[in-house]
């Protein structure tokens, strides 16, 4: 199969769909890889690195899209990219379609087969291609919160870990999944007072054991969310409903009862965000203020550390990408893991949570493939 890797064009996105090491694996498996010139510059990978790995280099993205059977990316395609996709071409990347009707319609109109990293599952129902970026984003969320808490950034002027004789920041993490765990781990490691909210009792038990008293756990009722958010210096939004829009757990009205200069970090912004006042921001302009509360809502947080992120992502995506390259769409039909990743096929939405979020018709894979 001909596998194409265009340069990412989303603002401040420096990751790359395939590292040179991953290209070697595809070439060794008998596939050809075409990489857009300078696609790997954000991770320090030159065109020569890709040539040595066995890739061909294309001067323009149009050449990559036109000559490839499968496109491997990191972030969702932008308008200039989805217009270049075509029927029977596979797109393998993060999509986050639920809050993005324009992209969904663009992919539907293209006729391509779009497989979303964020909905591919593993043998136990986990999300193996979302997990590595969730780990990165969870850890970065505390770094971002620490910067936003500075008075010069509009925050309370508070050091997350405090100092001897001065209390640390109170950090509330809403959601105890991969993002929430890593955010809490970083915050606790810095000495913050950490509370994790989740609606799964088994998950709360597991977190309680993992943290061994270094973080509190609390069932995420409406009352608990209000109690904790109102007393927090930092609130990390780490709630995920696979493929669907994130639930809005903190309303605009609640901001007035929060501490002035408190910081909200919405890691769920790719899925629309879990705070009513969230709107996507960029690394170039990451924060804004509403009612005295600093909002950090960067939609591609792991893009800030592209070397770590690209390597971690490629480690996870490689076996799935090779399966697609080896068998094409047949790999989707054969694998329950890739079936869960299929969001669009031949002009139809094949992931129910996305279809429901967008109010568009849903088709089974068999209906779409007929």
Q: How many residues does the chain have?
A: 370
Nearest alpha-carbon partner for 15 in 313, 362, 291, 317? 313
Instruction: Please pick, among 14, 31, 270, 337, the residue that the annotation labels catalytic.
Output: 270
4 Rama sector, left if φ>0, alpha if ψ -120 to 50, beta otherwise: beta
Q: Is 96 a catalytic residue?
A: yes
Instruction: Please pick, among 14, 96, 182, 345, the residue that the annotation labels catalytic.
Output: 96
Q: Are 268 and 257 in contact (CB under 8 A)?
A: no
Q: Is 102 a catalytic residue?
A: no
Which residues are catalytically annotated?
96, 270
């Amino acid at each position: 199969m001909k596998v194409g890797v265009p340069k990412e064009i989303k603002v401040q996105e420096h990751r790359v769909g395939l590292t040179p090491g991953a290209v070697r694996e595809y070439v060794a498996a008998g596939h050809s890889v075409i990489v857009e010139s300078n696609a790997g510059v954000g991770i320090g990978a030159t065109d020569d690195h890709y040539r040595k790995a066995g890739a061909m280099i294309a001067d323009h993205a149009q050449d990559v899209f036109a000559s490839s059977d499968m496109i491997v990316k990191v972030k969702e395609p932008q308008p200039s990219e989805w217009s270049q996709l075509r029927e029977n071409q596979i797109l393998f990347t993060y999509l986050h379609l639920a809050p993005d009707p324009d992209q969904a319609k663009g992919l539907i109109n293209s006729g391509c087969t779009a497989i979303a990293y964020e909905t591919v599952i593993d043998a136990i129902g986990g999300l193996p291609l979302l997990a590595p970026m969730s780990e990165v984003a969870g850890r970065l969320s505390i770094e971002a919160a620490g910067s936003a808490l500075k008075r010069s950034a509009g925050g309370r002027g508070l050091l997350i870990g405090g100092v001897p004789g001065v209390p640390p920041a109170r950090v509330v993490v809403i959601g105890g999944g991969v993002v929430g765990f890593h955010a809490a781990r970083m915050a606790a490691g810095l000495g913050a007072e950490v509370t994790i909210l989740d609606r799964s009792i088994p998950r709360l038990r597991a977190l309680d054991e993992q943290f061994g008293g270094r973080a509190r756990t609390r069932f995420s009722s409406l009352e608990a969310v209000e109690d904790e958010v109102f007393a927090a210096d930092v609130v990390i939004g780490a709630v995920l409903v696979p493929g669907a829009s994130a639930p809005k757990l903190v309303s605009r009205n609640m901001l007035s009862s929060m501490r002035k200069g408190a910081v909200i970090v919405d890691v769920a912004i790719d899925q629309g965000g879990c705070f009513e006042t969230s709107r996507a921001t960029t690394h170039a302009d990451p924060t804004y203020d509403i009612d005295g509360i600093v909002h950090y809502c960067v939609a591609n947080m792991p893009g800030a550390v592209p070397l770590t992120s690209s390597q971690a992502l490629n480690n996870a995506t490689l076996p799935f990408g090779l399966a697609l390259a080896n068998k094409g769409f047949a790999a989707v039909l054969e694998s329950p893991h890739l079936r869960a990743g299929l969001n669009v096929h031949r002009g139809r939405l094949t992931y129910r949570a996305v279809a429901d979020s967008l109010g568009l018709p849903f088709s089974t894979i068999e209906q779409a493939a007929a």
